[in-house]
Amino acid sequence: MPGDTVETMDELMRPRVYGADVDDPDPGPRPGHLYRELVGGPLDGLLLDVTGWTDSQHSAGAELRTDVGRFGAGGRARYAPRAEDAVHWDWRGDSR
C-alpha cells in the first residue's frame, strides 16, 4: 500500500534489546555496548545490555521483568550465563 514502509530482511532479523521502548525506531544494539543473548523462556532472542556490569553481576545472571512469563504482569524471568558460553544466557524459570 502507498505510504507503508517495507522492512528489509536485515531489519527483520536484527535482534531487539530487552527494555527498548516499543515505539523506538531502532530497538537494536548500540555501538560501544556489551550484550548477552537471552535463550529460551519468554524473552528468547532478546539481547540484554550488560555494559558496566561487574564480574559478580555477570556470573549471577538476572531476573528481568516481563508481562509474558508464567506470572503475567509483574512477573520476572530468570536468566543465567552458560558455563561454557557466557555470551548466551539460558532461561532458568519464572518468578513473581
Residues 6+ apart with CB under 8 A from 71: 94, 95, 96
pLDDT < 50: residue spans in the chain: 1-6, 9
Read off the C-alpha cell for 2.
502507498
pLDDT digits (tens, 9 = 90+) for 14-35: 789 999 987 888 899 999 999 9
What is the pLDDT at residue 13?
65
What is the pLDDT at residue 74?
87
24-42 as b/e: b if 16+ CB within 10 A: eeebebeeeeebbbbbebb
What whole-number distance in Å separates Cα of residue 7 and Cα of residue 25? 12
